[in-house]
Structure 1
Amino acid sequence: MLALGVAAQAAGTLVVTAPALLIPHLHAQGTTLAQAGLLAAAPTAGMVLTLIAWGAVTDRTGERVVIAGGLVLTTLAVSGAWAVGDDPVLLGVAFLLAGMTSASTNAASGRVVVGWFPKERRGLAMGIRQMSQPLGVTLAAVTVPQLAEGDGVRAALVLPVVLCAVLAVLCAVGIVDPPRPARAAARTGEAADPVPTANPYRSTGFLWRIHAVSVLLVVPQFTLSTYGLVWLVGLGWSTPAAGLLVGAAQFVGAVGRILVGVWSDRVASRVGPLRIVALSAAVVMAVLALVDVTHLPAAAVVLVIATSVTVADNGLAYTSVAEAAGPTWSGRALGAQNTGQFIAASAVGPGIGALVGLVGFAGSFLLVAALPVLALPLVPRADRSHD
């Protein structure tokens, strides 16, 4: 279940990330940086429209149908993007639809992991599951820029189409919905433990605070995944070399998510490590600004470290939301969690692109560094869980 959840989410991430890595190709063809950033934001904007709805469907029908069916729809949407080629308007529409359909894997794959792993091992399991995002970005970074530069947009979209199609079949066959308390009790004839059904957003502000923290922390993450390649090319790197470094940085970040998950299991807390990660994100973004100003030769090392730090919060926050929401609300809560993040992520493409045009990369990195600082007082002091 964990392997299929990781693979499904990685395929969705590949689809969502690919347009951002087409920016150098589109910019070379005359598209402005802000316009290319808008196209890159189309998939995340599509996800915002459907994440909560997919979560509600998952709560009602189960994980297998949502993941497999969503991947089928994603395959069709990316095939549409392949068919329209370089037309920016139609390409934007196709990417919007691809984002709407790929959102199915987000909440549903997280629920698979939460449902099949006990709390004392869930941080590790969710850390592995959260590898899917940097792994998807890694796969995109080492394939999309090179294929686009050599053979155009269509060549860069072949892998997302094939991968989503194959995983749709594998998930339909291999995923088993995790047992829920009511279902398990019905099979054994025992009385089910009380399962909270009340709206968790009304009883406490915990979920709202985690959502707000995640929105602030996702901006540094998407700033680097969207414009890290462009920044390196501006420093004199070739596009293929920069793509490989961005991919390597995402892979290191994927390993970091596992370590952070293990850390949270050992200290029996999600919010404590989350607070430290937020502070670290502010520091590394400020260091990136310093590197850009001083032209230090350590740009590659700093980018790898910064990428690793800025993706480390996702698994902590995601697990915390699922545990606080409980089994009857986790699909919708995880959908809301991702919705807030992707609203912010959708603004990163055009917003940071325009900001770079005004104040340069150093000024942009420094302004982004302020957001994790704002997140620190919002991190709750103690965890909340229905387990």
Structure 2
Amino acid sequence: METASRAPIAARSWAMLAVMVFGQAATTVVTVTPAFLIPYLHAEQGMSLARAGVLAGAPSLGLVLTLIAWGALTDRFGERRVLLSGLTLTVLAVIGSLLAQGFVWLGLALVASGAMSACINNASGRLISGWFPADRRGLAMGIRQTCQPVGTAVAALAVPALANEFGIHGALAFGGVLTLISVIACAFVVIDPQITAKQLAAVSSNPYRESGTLARIHAVSVLLVIPQFVLSSFGLVWFVIGFGWSELAAGTLVAAAQLLGAGGRIAAGIWSDAAGSRLRPIRLIAVACAALLLISAAFGAADWAIPAAIAYVLVSCVSVADNGLAFTAVAEIAGPRWSGRALGTQNTGQFLASGLLPPLIGAMIAAVGVPVTLALVAVAPLLAAPIVPSERDAHATANRTARTRRDGGAPRS
């Protein structure tokens, strides 16, 4: 009887996870589309690379500006309302970009599309945390974290082809159509996890005031996003310029590393569920990332292309494995009243770090080369490892802020 009563809930949980993965992938297409339009804008419309780069960065600016606000709205009104309203506004913002006349208005519309699409970043994590029990939550969140590389891969394949066939409007509309489909799916599938009055009473305190645990996790994630960004953004440059590979061969290597990295996020989630810990795996991942960065740097300095490529793929997989673990830990520690804002803060720090890194890393590579840069970047995960909170600190904070919510609350049937 008990097993039978749980089966429909489990099926609904997986259905909502699927909808969240699709929705997050769809909004990822919206935000990365301008970046994949740079060659078209430059070659076909004569736009300078600098101006095209401004458009490419516009959605990310919108994301950074609104992540915490969307998290607060999720805490206040629930996941379903935020997802339906935010994704609908994203579709309207995409329509605005199709109607925009001139560079400035197009840029503002792209900022708006990024700002509205940020609704799903926190709401999806909060929803999954609420619907999945603790012993399956790492796996579920790991699957959720695959949506960004998948969305980026879809955009990389579709956007240039659509732009060449239908122009910029056809490329921009693609993400809007996918997001519209996700709105419809959310309307039929998404239900907020049920949080009882007793549970809410137990999480009235601000987890940031209780301890520095969440702040330490945010700091760790900012440090660990540095190697992620360097490897994904400058891997192509390294193998084309440093080893003389063709762009096709180097691009295939980078794409393979990204897709394998998506699998690494799922594997890390399964590992954390089996270990009953999110934080110990993060600490080990940080140390492994630093070691593999140094190995990659050594192979690069020795001009050993194939060993460097193997090390690059391995470190790329390891460097992204912590994402889902940190996201899950933040949601669990913050509790149902604060998880939206906490997840928004988590994402904001990572996006800010990624936005500030390009000129610094580019200048570093120009000055000392890729191998030395990789060795220097290895300092970031080495610094992150001792900052990872202990399990005792995490449990103490979680118990004070969500004492009765060990398994995320019973979902509404």
TM-score after normalising by structure 1: 0.86
CA–CA distance in 1 between the matches of 2:37 and 2:69?
A: 29
2:322 aligns with one of 307, 313, 317: 313
Q: Deviations over 1:291-329 (max 9, x none)?
A: 544443325433332321121111110111111111111
* SS of the residue 1:380 aligns to: coil
Superposition deviation, residue 337 in structure 1? 0.9
Give the residue type in structure 2 aligned to 1:213: V
Contact 1:137 1:247 in 2 (8 A): no
Q: Tell me the distance in 2 between the aligned counterparts of 1:344 and 1:358.
A: 21
For residues 355 and 73 of structure 1, what CA distance do their matches in structure 2 show? 40
1:362 and 2:371 aligned = yes
Is residue 200 of structure 1 aligned with residue 207 of structure 2? Answer: yes
Partner of 2:76: 60
Quick one: structure 1 residues 77 and 236, their matched pair in 2 at CA, closer, same or farther if it must change by over 3 Å? farther
> Which position in structure 2 is the counterpart of 1:326?
335
Q: Cα distance, 1:372 vs. partner? A: 1.2
Q: How many matched pairs?
A: 377
Structure 2 matches for 1:166-315, cutoff 5 A?
166-182=181-197, 194-234=201-241, 236=244, 239=247, 242-298=250-306, 300-315=309-324
CA contact (8 A) 1:44 1:343 kept: no
CA contact (8 A) 1:145 1:240 kept: no
Aligned ranges 1:4-83 → 2 under 5 Å:
4-22=19-37, 31=48, 39-82=55-98
Matched position secondary structure for 1:255: helix
Q: What's the CA shift for 1:90?
A: 4.9
* Cross-structure match for 1:102: 117
| Residue of structure 1 aligned with 2:156, choices 141, 144, 166 | 141
Deviates more, 1:252-261 or 1:216-225: 216-225
Letter of the structure 1 residue corresponding to residue 267 of structure 2:
L
Give the distance between the partners of 1:227 and 1:23, measured in 2 at CA.
17
Instruction: Describe the superposition over 1:15-39 as per-residue Cα deviations: whole angstroms up to 9, x where unpaired.
Output: 333344455666776845x776555
CA separation in 2, counterparts of 1:274 and 1:128? 17
For structure 2, list consecutive stretches of 5 or more residues without a partner in the other structure.
1-15, 407-413
SS at 1:197's partner residue?
coil
The root-mean-square deviation of aligned C-alpha atoms, in Å, is 2.9
3-state SS, counterpart of residue 157 of structure 1: helix
Question: How many angstroms apart in 2 are the aligned matches of 1:83 and 1:355?
Answer: 40
- Tell me how far 1:145 sits from its aligned partner: 5.2
Cα drift, residue 256 of structure 1: 1.0
C-alpha separation in 2, matches of 1:102 and 1:10 = 11
- Residues 200 and 336 in structure 2, CA contact (< 8 A), matched pair in contact too: no
Give yes or no for contact 1:21–1:226 (8 Å, CA) kept in 2. Answer: no
Identity across matched positions, percent? 51
1:241/1:98 CA distance change after superposition, 3 Å: farther
Q: Distance in 2 between matches of 1:73 and 1:121?
A: 32
Displacement, 1:118? 1.0
Are 1:146 and 1:240, in contact at CA under 8 Å, matched by a contact in 2?
Answer: no
Aligned partners of 1:233 and 1:242 also within 8 Å:
yes
Of stretches 209-218 and 10-19 in structure 1, the one that deviates more from structure 2 is: 10-19
Deviation at 1:193, TM superposition (A): 7.9
Q: Structure 1 CA distance, aligned partners of 2:209 and 2:136? A: 29
**Please, which runs of 5 or more residues in structure 1 have no aligned partner?**
183-190
- TM-score of the superposition, structure 2-length normalised? 0.81
Question: 2:131 — aligned with what?
Answer: 116
Greater Cα radius of gyration, structure 1 or 2: 2
Compared with structure 1, are the counterparts of its residues 144 and 36 closer, same or farther at alpha carbon in structure 2 (3 Å cutoff)? same
Q: Which amino acid aligns with 2:152?
A: V
Which deviates more from structure 2 when the two are superposed, residues 63-72 or residues 16-25? Answer: 16-25
